[in-house]
Chain A
Amino acid sequence: MAATMRSISRRDEMSLAEPAALPVAASVAPRLHVLKRFLDRFKASLPAYLLLLPSLVFLALFTYGAMGRVLIDALYQRATPKAPVRFVGLDNISAVLADPAFTGAVVNNLIYAVGTAVPSIALALLFALALSRTHAVNSALRAALFLPVLIPMVAASALFLFIFLPNVGLLDYYIGRLLPVLPNWLGDPDIALYAIMIITIWKNAGYYMLFFLAGLQAVPEDVMEAAHLDGAGPYQRLRHIILPELKPTFLFVTVIAILNAVTQVDHVFVMTQGGPSNSTNLVLFYIYQQAVEHYDVGKASAATLLTLAALMGLTALSFRTLANREGGP
């Protein structure tokens, strides 16, 4: 009895001691464990990091380094040409926001983004639906529609420069017979931005078509067949099956189209230089003007920061929406 008692008590002791000992063990062994695990993991992924190193170095040098530099530059300004640069805080940002040329560029960019994204996506969808079945004719047509994507923007702009040439260009040569007064496509501030938009749509529609063609492959065959058997017409199939299935594609292409609208300004450089009278000035070109023509690095950096912030906000928002949509019913 006593023995059992003792044994119990010992057991108790043990059971009491064990929890007391446990924290000690937990404070040593798991730490070792974590370290070891980390080392193990590091060892395992070392080749991966080594392989990534060149990219990381270049990213740090040319992307993150540059972004950091922009952030710093945005905070400095000089009062007069010979004065030294000094810290001005957010003055550059407020100067950019107060600049009518910047607000003008933002408005132009919004018109440009909506005016290029909507038609090019609509066209892309139309092309994809028309050419979704693969046979020789469709392949040839797809290639033809994709061709503009392969032409560099600068070369395309140079081509369109001749097409838009007032009085003697291709466009005026054909349309000119129908119109009472020949428009000066790139020289009239009311038309120039739309002329620029036409090039972007022409150039991007074929690219977005690829995404929609891929998206159409993912539309389940059996659902389509079932709808067919249920007597759903082509419009009903499009409205209730194809379009809902393409929603993620739509979202992705929209983000790409908007990013393009902000980051592609090659044609503005080549064709109008932001003119006439700033009517085709887009945000990125405004930044270029501040940095190069005004030689005002502070203001250019501030405008860059504002643009970056807007783009990152937009991207975050769209990816959240995308995640919600995929997580939802």
Chain B
Amino acid sequence: MLFSRRLMLGLAMAGSMAGALAVPAMAEGPTEIDLFFPVPVDGKLARDMGTLIKEFNETHPDVKATAVYTGSYDDTLIKTRASIKAGKPPAAVIMSANFLLDMQIENELTNLDSLIAADGTTKEKFLGQFFPALQGNAVINRSVYGVPFHNSTPLLYINADKAKEAGLDPNKPPQTWAELTDWAKKLTKREGDKVTQWGIAIPCAYDYCGWMMETLTMSNGGRYYNEEFGGEVYYDTPSMLGALSWWNDLVAKYKVHPPGATPGPAVSTSFISGNAAMMMLSTGSLTYVRDNAKFAYKVAFIPRNVRNAVPIGGASLIVPAGLEADKQKAAWTLIKWMTSPEKSAWWSRATGYFAPNMAAYKTPEMVDFLNKNPDAKTAVEQLDVAKPWFATYKTVPVRKNLEDEVMLVLNGKKQPKEALAAAQKAADETLKPYNAETALKLP
């Protein structure tokens, strides 16, 4: 076991760090801690993380942190859980923000309240540094379990050149579903029955699909899940029915959206190549679009039907359960340093995520950056209407219960109403064990 773990860590480090962070033989002194980090988007995130941790180690001689690349968000959850089971948890993990509740239910997280109190501050003051929209995924039962590290919201991306071509003003982007439908119709080009340019593309693959359904449902006035209790989702509701029906209409009725389930990278490639004139995608793709689009583009808020509302995405820093006190303290030092305004701002510029720490936007480098890249500002402004990311007991299977049905609808195999009824039934079944010991456990 020990051997395989070391080997695994060794390989993972060698692969991602390329020797930049080779562990020197340490006799005594600094507390050695591991930080598990995922790379959920394309790009040079692993290298940036190496730079960040190197700087931390240089400025904190009493702690020796090692960054361990652990794959995607899902892989990071697996590896963290495996390490906890093996009794050797990492000191800190960058964990997808909507996995926190499930981990807390499984007793895998350290409650951070006492660490915050030990610093002589209050929970309110500590959380007050971050955008309010991010707190919902970090606080469980009024205790802090995570510290927001990098976050995103969905955005509407518009090919400004194609919009002008179609006689639309890209400086007045569509604000409602009605306007967006109209834009999409005008931006769709056909040769006979064949579509040569799609008006809009919305991604639907596992993970992205659930997030997009939450986006559309929220802008239709809905909630998707119970923010206060992990045992309920609202799939078979008018707000979600409206959302899925509209998405289905874009595909089947207006034929302005490509049929079937299309993953995020396929959607962004389609947009970059000019095959789709508009797309809904994460702010995390903004840097990619900025670097690759050979045309003028615009980003805008997700249009509303009932209200402007979007979910957040991204990841928080967590401390796994079952850690020695000195490592816990060292991890806390690292977490506070990584989420400080300066580091938060630097990471945001490097990756394209927005910085969760509000003070990051007051640093001179950030003010300068936003002046040069006004599109990065839209994501931050949209945070005023952002809400937490769905998180339930067994988040992934419950999300998949919905996604499988949505994919059937987008492929024309089911009608929205019956699909959502089936999704609700399946999700209720998945949530049953948790409800049995919470809401349905009666005296």
What is A's interface to B at a CB cutoff of 8 Å? 62, 79-83, 161, 165-168, 180-182, 184, 186-190, 273-278, 289, 292-295
Contacts and interface: CB of A to CB of B under 8 A. Distances in A.
Nearest to A78: B433
Contacts, number: 104
Contact of A187 (B198, B261, B413): B261
Given A79-B436, A273-B206, 18 more contacts: A62-B4, A80-B433, A80-B434, A81-B434, A166-B260, A166-B266, A167-B275, A184-B261, A186-B263, A187-B259, A187-B261, A276-B407, A277-B413, A292-B74, A292-B78, A293-B396, A293-B400, A295-B81
10 contacts: A79-B436, A83-B437, A167-B270, A181-B194, A184-B260, A184-B261, A187-B411, A275-B407, A276-B261, A278-B404
Contacts of B262: 166, 184, 187
Contacts of B396: 293-294
B356 to A, nearest CB: 27
Given A275-B407, A294-B394, A184 B205 contact: no
A275 B403 contact: yes
A180 B191 CA distance: 10
Residue from the set B206, B265, B266, B410 with the largest chain A CB neighbour count within 10 Å: B266
B413 to A, nearest CB: 7
B206 A81 contact: no
Contacts of A187: 204, 259-263, 266, 407, 410-411
A294 B77 CA distance: 12
B194 A180 contact: yes
A292 B78 CA distance: 6
Interface in B398-438: 400, 403-405, 407-408, 410-411, 413, 433-434, 436-437
B205 A168 contact: no
B393 interface: yes
B106 A180 contact: no
Contacts of A295: 81, 102, 106, 394
A217 B413 CA distance: 52
A69 to B, nearest CB: 12
Contacts of A289: 397
Q: Which of B78, B258, B265, B407 has the most CB of A within 10 A?
A: B407
B259 A81 contact: no
Nearest to A167: B275
B273 interface: yes
A80 B261 contact: no
B246 to A, nearest CB: 19
Q: Closest 9 interchain pairs by CB?
A: A184-B260, A187-B260, A276-B407, A80-B437, A187-B261, A276-B261, A293-B396, A277-B404, A277-B407
Interface in B168-196: 193-194
Most buried by A among B260, B396, B397: B260
B269 interface: yes
B8 interface: no
B105 interface: yes
A180 B194 CA distance: 6
Given A184-B261, A294-B397, A79 B433 contact: yes
B433 A273 contact: no
A293 B407 CA distance: 19
Interface residues of B, number: 45
Contacts of A83: 437
Contact of A188 (B194, B273, B411, B433): B411
Contacts of B105: 81-82
B220 to A, nearest CB: 23
Contacts of B204: 187, 276
Nearest to A272: B205
B269 A275 contact: no
Contacts of A188: 259-261, 411
Contacts of A189: 407-408, 411, 413
A275 B433 contact: no
Contacts of B397: 289, 293-294
Interface in B98-131: 102, 105-107
Given A81-B434, A189-B413, A168 B407 contact: no
Contacts of A168: 269-270, 273, 275
Contacts of B102: 295
A132 B300 CA distance: 62
Contacts of A79: 433, 436
Contacts of B400: 293
A182 B276 CA distance: 14
Nearest to A183: B260
A25 B70 CA distance: 69
Nearest to B414: A277
A167 B437 contact: no
B260 to A, nearest CB: 3
A294 to B, nearest CB: 5
Contact of B270 (A80, A166, A274, A278): A166
Contacts of A273: 205-206
Contacts of B205: 273, 275
Nearest to B265: A161
Nearest to A275: B206
Given A168-B270, A275-B205, A275-B206, A81 B260 contact: no
B258 A166 contact: yes
B193 A181 contact: yes
A306 B394 CA distance: 25
A294 B431 CA distance: 11
Contacts of A277: 404-405, 407-408, 411, 413
A276 B403 CA distance: 8
Contacts of A278: 404
Contacts of B265: 161
Instruction: Count chain B CB atoms within 10 A of each CB in A167, A273, A294 and give the residue with the most.
Output: A167
Contacts of A167: 198, 258, 270, 275-276
Nearest to B407: A276
Contacts of B260: 166, 184, 187-188, 276
Contacts of B413: 189, 277
A81 B433 CA distance: 7
Contacts of B206: 273-275
A62 to B, nearest CB: 8
A186 B267 CA distance: 13
B429 to A, nearest CB: 11
Contacts of A294: 394, 396-397
A81 B407 contact: no
Interface in B361-403: 393-394, 396-397, 400, 403
A289 B404 CA distance: 14
Interface string B251-285: 00000001111110110011001011000000000
